[in-house]
């Protein structure tokens, strides 16, 4: 097995003029990088790290926006034998104060040798480096062009690294970014890429199109490293350009004959709602062989809305696919929808909520359509366990545990967390789900469970029911528990964003709240007392686009406390 640097060296020597990466922009022409330009650009950053005293095995944090500098800096660190870790860039949607705190915490835990950023962001990084954990803050303007590499390969320490050395850090996402560094070796990444490529039937006719951020495992692995290291062309958009104009993804698929893309569930609803017919004139989606739903709970309704909206432009039903993935396994755990249509498992909603059983629904009774995440990829094993670590039978809901040959080396500089994450050699994912006929189904997160009178309630179920209410903005619902000292158990709170501004229409907001209560009670036997209908953009999301339950719970409680203070 070879390392990243050796694979890149082979590409430079064998196919230097192959265009491997199309960097797409909103306000300027696309950049088309060959392996030659990619590695010459990377070598400039390698020399910057060498001149700055960064050594092989040191961590280098990258705080750069979408563009060639980010690509070059990442692979420049790899060629140097350093360990790159990509951090979200500060945007208008993030609190500068919270971002700085997150950055300071990252520096204290990871102790990077260097940070690479832009000249205009250098001062922000310095402010976060309060304990001088970072030795060097480097800026992109310091990089000088690099010529042909043939006489320089001996200078690249990355070619001397072992396959068992750490090659990169992925980080778990929080409300502002990176908290827990997942250390991955060359061997783990290539084991994943081999198994996942086989599951996808990846071939030289494929073209991957992605808008996903590279600080998240789905974007970094599926939407970046897998194509570049496998010599599969990649068209890469900025996630911020995609949010402002999601049709750009569809235009890129059409222009570059894209075959594979990954998206979180909310993006299916977002695209269906936001893209106008005039933006799709001349667009052809018939080359898309898999649009893969991944990284958050997956909903059957989202697939149906997406298919109905874009089938007239060539989207095929069989292109809808699913995946279960996590940074700790490099990326994919299971994959569905490639060899056969994604399985839809209709389960009894009462047994699901009240008894933690995924029993097939009978007749016309209340049911939940669960999307399968497919079967485990090669060399990855999955089981479901109870709170005591005992394996559960099929269709019993419990915690997902996995074993594989692409597992993390550990949480970087956090042996305490690494030890807690494993039980008898099995990684405890913290995800809840069940197995049925060899396929994996994910129902939620263990830490998000709401316990009411000793009964476990899954917030995702309530969010799904509330999200089907007319007037509620699709995908913008959160449910959480708040302890009630009078009853000694938790009260359930649902906060839902409305599709329109209801500031001056309290009666309409109350009608939506009442309908949410009715739907939740009917579909789950859970009685809701507290339902809050709020305006657009009230809810907070994580850096990877997921609803941040803990942050929204705190925001709700702060609002309640402020109201109580005003009334006293």
Q: What is the pTM of this model?
A: 0.84
* pLDDT above 90 for 85: yes
Q: What is the mean pLDDT of the chain?
A: 91
pLDDT at 522 over 90: no
Average pLDDT value for residue range 274-302: 93
Domain that residue 519 falls in: 450-567
Residues 130 and 14 in one domain: yes
What Cα–Cα distance (Å) separates residue 15 from each residue in 37, 462, 473? 12, 52, 48
Burial, 162: exposed, middle or buried (Cβ in 10 Å; 0-12, 13-18, 19+)? Answer: exposed
Mean pLDDT in residue range 449-476: 81
- The three-point CA angle 444-98-74 to 5° equals 80
Give the residue from 405, 430, 447 where a domain finishes: 447
Let me know whether 403 and 548 are in one domain: no
Same domain? For 83 and 102 the reply is yes
> Residue 76's pLDDT is what?
98
Find the CATH number of the domain harbouring 372.
2.30.38.10
Same domain, 29 and 145: yes
pLDDT at position 174 over 50: no
pLDDT for res 94 = 66
In angstroms, the first-to-last Cα distance of the chain is 69
> What's the sign of the alpha-carbon dihedral 77, 81, 82, 87?
positive
Q: How many domains are contained in the chain? A: 3
Does residue 191 lie within any of the structural domains? no
Does 472 share its domain with 442? no
**Helix/strand/coil for 322:** strand
Structure token pair of residue 425 = 């050699």
Q: Are residues 435 and 507 in the same domain?
A: no
Last residue of a domain, one of 139, 161, 183: 161
Do 5 and 81 form a contact (C-beta atoms < 8 A)?
Answer: yes
Q: Tell me what the mean pLDDT of segment 364-376 comes to.
A: 91
Indicate if the pLDDT at residue 543 is higher than 80: no
Strands 31-34 and 19-23: antiparallel
Average confidence (pLDDT) over 425-449: 92
**pLDDT tier, 93 (very low <50, low <70, confident <90, very high otherwise):** low
**pLDDT value at residue 175:** 36
Q: Do 5 and 126 belong together in one domain?
A: yes
Please give the radius of gyration of the chain, using alpha carbons only, rounded to the nearest integer: 24
User: 140 - beta bridge partners?
Assistant: none
Q: Is residue 182 part of a domain?
A: no
What are the angstrom distances between the C-alpha of 234 and each of 51, 231, 316, 435, 489?
A: 32, 9, 21, 34, 51
Please report whether residue 212 resides in a domain.
Answer: no
Is the pLDDT at 58 greater than 70, yes or no?
A: yes
Q: Tell whether 544 and 425 lie within a shared domain.
A: no
Q: 489 pLDDT exceeds 50?
A: yes
């Amino acid at each position: 097995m070879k390392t990243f640097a050796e694979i890149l060296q082979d590409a430079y020597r064998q196919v230097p003029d192959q265009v491997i990466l199309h960097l797409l922009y909103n306000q300027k022409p696309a950049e088309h990088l060959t392996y030659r330009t990619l590695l010459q650009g990377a070598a400039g950053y390698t020399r910057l790290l060498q001149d700055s005293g960064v050594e092989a095995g040191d961590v280098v944090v990258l705080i750069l926006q979408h563009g060639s500098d980010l690509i070059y800096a990442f692979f420049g660190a790899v060629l140097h034998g350093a360990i790159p870790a990509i951090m979200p860039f500060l945007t208008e949607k993030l609190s500068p104060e919270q971002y700085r705190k997150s950055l300071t915490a990252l520096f204290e835990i990871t102790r990077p040798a260097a940070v690479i950023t832009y000249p205009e962001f250098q001062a922000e990084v310095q402010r976060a480096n309060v304990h001088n954990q970072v030795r060097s803050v480097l800026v992109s303007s310091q990089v000088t062009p690099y010529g042909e590499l043939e006489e320089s390969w001996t200078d690249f320490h990355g070619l001397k690294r072992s396959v068992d050395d750490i090659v990169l850090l992925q980080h778990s996402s929080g409300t502002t970014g990176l908290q827990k560094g997942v250390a991955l070796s060359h061997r783990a990444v290539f084991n994943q890429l081999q198994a996942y490529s086989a599951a996808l039937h990846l071939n030289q006719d494929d073209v991957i199109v992605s808008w996903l951020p590279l600080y998240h495992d789905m974007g970094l692995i599926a939407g970046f490293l897998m194509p570049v290291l496998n010599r599969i062309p990649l068209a890469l958009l900025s996630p911020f350009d995609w949010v402002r104009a999601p049709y750009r993804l569809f235009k890129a698929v059409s222009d570059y004959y894209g075959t594979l893309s990954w998206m979180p569930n909310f993006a299916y609803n977002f695209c269906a709602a936001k893209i106008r017919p005039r933006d799709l004139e001349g667009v052809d989606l018939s080359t898309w062989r898999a649009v893969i739903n991944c990284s958050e709970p997956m909903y059957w309704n989202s697939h149906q809305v997406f298919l109905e909206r874009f089938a007239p432009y060539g989207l095929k039903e069989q292109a809808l696919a699913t995946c279960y993935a996590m940074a700790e396994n490099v990326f994919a755990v299971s994959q569905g929808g490639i060899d056969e249509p994604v399985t839809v498992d209709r389960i009894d909603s009462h047994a699901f909520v009240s008894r933690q059983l995924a029993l097939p629904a009978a007749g016309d009774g209340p049911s939940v359509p669960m999307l399968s995440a497919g079967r485990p990829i090669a060399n990855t094993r999955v089981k479901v366990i109870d709170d005591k670590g005992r394996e559960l039978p099929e269709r019993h809901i419990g915690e997902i545990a996995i074993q594989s040959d692409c597992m993390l080396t550990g949480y970087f500089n956090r042996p305490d967390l690494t030890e807690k994450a494993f039980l008898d050699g099995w990684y405890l994912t913290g995800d809840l789900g069940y197995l049925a006929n060899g396929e994996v189904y994910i129902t939620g997160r263990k830490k998000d469970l709401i316990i009411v009178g000793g009964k476990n309630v899954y917030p995702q179920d309530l969010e799904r029911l509330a999200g089907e209410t007319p007037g509620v903005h699709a995908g913008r619902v959160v449910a959480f528990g708040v302890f009630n000292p009078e009853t000694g158990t938790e009260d359930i709170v649902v906060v839902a964003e409305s599709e329109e501004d209801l500031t001056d229409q309290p009666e309409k907001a109350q009608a939506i709240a009442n309908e949410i209560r009715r739907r939740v009670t009917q579909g789950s036997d859970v009685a809701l007392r507290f339902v809050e209908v709020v305006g657009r953009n009230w809810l907070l999301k994580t850096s990877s686009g997921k609803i941040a339950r803990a942050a929204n719970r705190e925001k709700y409680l702060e609002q309640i406390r402020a109201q109580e203070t005003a009334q006293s």
